[in-house]
Amino acid sequence: MLTKNQEKYVKGLHQLKNRRRTGAFFFEGHKMAMDGFGENRLEIESIFALESWVEAYAKDLTPSLAQKLIVISEREMKKISALKTPTPILVVAQQPAMSQTISQHSEGMAALYLEGIQNPGNMGTILRVADWFGVEQVIATSDSVDFFNPKVIQASMSSIFRVKMSVMDLDMLAQKKGAASVVATAMHGTPIQKMNKEAQPMIVMIGHEGKGLSPKAFAMSDTTVTIPGHPHKKAESLNAAMAAGIICAFLGG
């Protein structure tokens, strides 16, 4: 049974201010739940599940997780879910700590740097792209959408559990980048096909969906690359997640 306090707490996590205040977030769905349970760095607070899920899968939970299981009704799940069609399980956990360093691989992409990304679907897809292509770290500016936004989490398809995440504005990036070269992306620059994986690691910057990268970001970059389109293309641009996928395919780990 879902108590009023539990309902208020979980519904509060739909909002950024409450996720920041509590340091908690939630994720939904059987696969994502099982993936999350397998991550040692996740501290699980509560597991809300329908009786049908409990009957099928509770036996697979460790004793410590089983103690955090709360059986609720479909009506109660609808109250706390962020989905139009709720799944049989919702898990509340503490947010994993943000990395304060930047990966320093010997070659290829060390990280994707996202400046002002606003769309949760884009952010979640970029995390999934990074996971697929072996890019270990995704860094976002503080004005980007929250990594733990429920829509970001759903779009990431569990990649949020595996990719190292950081929040760094440009000044901090300049201090932390070490030997990495910084590569800006834009409508004009060196064609991505002509870029080689460099001897030092690369941090590839992708900008706001509408405005692109800021002048300050371009000023601190070492080079600028572009993704050439067809000579007779009609589309004005690619969205941020599409661009990230193409870039990672060429330059990823």
Q: Where are the domains of the chain?
A: 4-94, 109-251
The pLDDT, as a whole number, for residue 183 is 93
Confidence grade of residue 95 (pLDDT, cut at 50, 70, 90): very high
122: tokens are: 């884009």
What residues have CB less than 8 Å from 246, skipping those under 6 apart?
Answer: 192, 227, 238
- Single-letter amino acid, residue 173: L
The pLDDT, as a whole number, for residue 193 is 86
Instruction: Work out the percent of the chain whose per-residue pLDDT is above 90.
Output: 81
The pLDDT, as a whole number, for residue 198 is 62
Lowest-confidence range among 162-166, 190-194, 211-215? 190-194
The pLDDT, as a whole number, for residue 160 is 96
The pLDDT, as a whole number, for residue 219 is 96
What residues have CB less than 8 Å from 15, skipping those under 6 apart?
Answer: none
Q: Is the pLDDT of residue 106 over 60?
A: no
Q: Is the pLDDT of residue 206 over 80?
A: yes
The pLDDT, as a whole number, for residue 43 is 96
The pLDDT, as a whole number, for residue 244 is 95
Topology of domain 4-94, per CATH?
A: 60s Ribosomal Protein L30; Chain: A; (3.30.1330)
Q: Higher-confidence residue: 101 or 31?
A: 31
109-251 is classed in which CATH architecture? 3-Layer(aba) Sandwich (3.40)
* C-alpha dihedral sign at 147, 150, 151, 153: positive
Q: Higher-confidence residue: 67 or 232?
A: 67
pTM of the model: 0.93
Confidence grade of residue 59 (pLDDT, cut at 50, 70, 90): very high
Neighbours of 77 (CB within 10 A): 21
Neighbours of 212 (CB within 10 A): 19
Q: Is the pLDDT of residue 182 over 70?
A: yes
The pLDDT, as a whole number, for residue 98 is 93
Q: Is the pLDDT of residue 51 over 70?
A: yes
Q: Higher-confidence residue: 173 or 110?
A: 173
